[in-house]
Amino acid sequence: MSLTVFAASIVHESHTFSITPTTLDDYRHSQYLEGEAIDGAMRGTRTEWGAVLDLADEFGWHLVAPLAASAVPAGKVTDQAFDHMMGIITRALERAMPVHGVLLPLHGAMVTESHDDAEGEILRQVRAIVGPAVPIAVSLDLHANATEDMARLANIITTYRTTPHTDMYETAERAGRLLQRAMQGEIKPSVTLANRPVLSGLDHGRTTAQNGAFVEMLALVRKAEAQTPGVLDIGVNAGFDFADVPFTGPTVLVTGDGARPEFREVAERLADFIWDSRGRETVRLLPMDEVISIANKAAPSDSGPLLIGDYTDNPDGGAYGDGTNLVRALLAAGIKGVAVGAIADPEAAAAGLKAGVGATVTVDLGGKTDPRFGGTPIRLTGTVGAVSDGIYVHKGKMATGTKANMGPSFRLDLEGMQIIVTSYPTPIVDREQFRIYDIEPERMNILACKAMNHFRADFEPIARGLIYVDAGGICSLDFKKFHWRKLRRPIWPLDLS
C-alpha cells in the first residue's frame, strides 16, 4: 500500500532587533515554490527537499507537497505573509486527509509579529488537522531555538550537524527514514528537549575547528546514541542569538523509541556540556585597524585571496547587508585588488543599471536602512563594469544545485576595488556570486564578504587566510548592546558568570 506523506516548509531565521520586516515579497524574491514547481526546482539538489523527493521515490510515497518557502534572514515575518503561507499548507493538508505521515523541513528560529515560536505554531496547526496518531517528522537548522512545544508536537526532530551547513540533505533523510519506520509501526518515536540558561554557546555550532566546543559535543552525542538503547537520533542546536524570545539559546533534542527515562537522562547530561563549555570560541572578531594592517601586507604570488568576513553585517544572520565601514576603511588604506560582495542598495543598483555597462556613475552607496549599524552612506564615483539580474546557481558545497536571487544588480569599478551592488540583502556563500559579475574570486587579493560561517565551505579552500572584522553591524556579539524584553533571565552571559 502506498503511504501518503504530506510535506511543506516555511523557513526563516528572524533577527527580532532588525527594523526590516520579512514580507511575502521577500519570500518570492528568495524561494517560493508551490506544488509541482517544488519538484522542478529541488529534485537532485543537496537540500532537505532534494532528500524528501528522493525518499518519496525510494519508498513509493504518495507525496503531497503544496509549498516550499524560504526567505533571507531579516526582521520578524509579517502576519500577512505567515497567515497566507499557512493557509496554503492547511488547506492542502485538509484536502489530502487522511495522511499516514508528515515531513516538515523547517528552520527553528522563525518569529512572526504574533508568534514568538512560529515553528511551534506551524506544528500546532498541522497537529490539529492530522490528530495525535499521525507521526510528524521535522528537520531543523543547527541554529534553531527549539522549544518544548516543538518537542511535544513532533514525534521526530533531526538537526544539521555541520556549519557551514553541508548536510542539509542528510538531515532530512534521517528524519524521513525514521518517519517511514514510524508509519510502518516499527517505532513509536517521541522527542525530549533539554537546555541551560545560556544565550549563546557551543561555538555557534561551528565544525570548522577540531578543538571547538560544538565538535566536542558532537562526539559526546554520537557516543550517547551508540550506548543508549532506543535512541533514534540526537540533535544539538546551537541556537540563534539575535532573537528576543523566552527560549533563545542552545538545546539538545533526543528522539527516542517510546518514552523512557533514559532519554531524559541523556538529554540533561548533554545539556550540562552546554553550560560547561560556555564562552569557548574559535573565532575572534578583529577591530578595523587590525584588519587593515593585515590586509596591507603583501600577498605571496599565487596564494589566493585573503578572506575578510564582515561578520556583524551578514544578511545570513539577519543584518541589513548595507554597511559601509569596511569598504570605507579599505578605500582609505588604498589597498588594491579588492572585491566586495555585496552592498545591498536597491536605489544605487537602479542607478547603475540605468547608466549601463561602461558608463560613469556616482552613487551614495549603502548605509540607508539604519545608519546606526555598519556605517552611513558613502559617495562613490566609478564605472559600471557589469550588470546582472542577480540570479545564480549554487555550485559549492551548500545548497548545491539550487537557484538564488540577489536582485537586479551591477559591479561598480573603482581604482583598486570592485563592489557588487545588489537590490536584495545578500549573504555571500558561493563563488558564483562573484562570477556572474565577471569577477574570478581566485585571482583577487582581498575578498571582503558579508559573511559569517557559510562562505567557508566554498571560499576557504582557495584562500590564503581568513579573518573577521567587527564593522559595527547589527549582528554584534556584544549582546548587552541590545534591549532584551522577552528573553528569560537570568542567563549567561548577560547575568550569570
User: What residue segments make up the domains of the chain, in order of their start?
Assistant: 4-276, 285-479
As a whole number of angstroms, the distance between CA 94 and CA 419 comes to 49
**Residue 60: left if φ>0, alpha if ψ -120 to 50, beta else—which one?**
left
For 71, the grid coordinates are 526567505
Q: What is the pLDDT of residue 299?
A: 77
Write down the pLDDT at residue 426.
93
pLDDT score at 300 = 74
The neighbouring-strand residues paired with 53 are none
DSSP letter for each residue of 148-217: HHHHHH-SEEEE---SS---HHHHHHHHHHHHHHHHTTS--EEEEEEE-SBSS-GGGG--SSTTSHHHHH
Q: Determine the pLDDT at residue 497.
A: 83
pLDDT score for 298: 75
Dihedral sign, Cα of residue 406, residue 323, residue 484, residue 271: positive
Alpha carbons 205 and 197: distance in angstroms, whole number = 17
- pLDDT tens digits, one per residue of 24-78: 999 999 999 999 999 999 999 999 999 999 999 999 999 999 999 999 999 999 9
Return the SS3 of 87.
helix
pLDDT tens per residue across span 429-466:
999 999 999 999 999 999 999 999 999 999 999 999 99
Closest CA to 294 of 277, 309, 315, 311: 309
**Which residues of the chain are under the pLDDT cut of 70?**
none
d(CA 267, CA 271): 6
- Distance between alpha carbon 131 and the CA centroid of its chain, in Å? 31
Residues 6+ apart with CB under 8 A from 462: 304, 305, 431, 441, 442
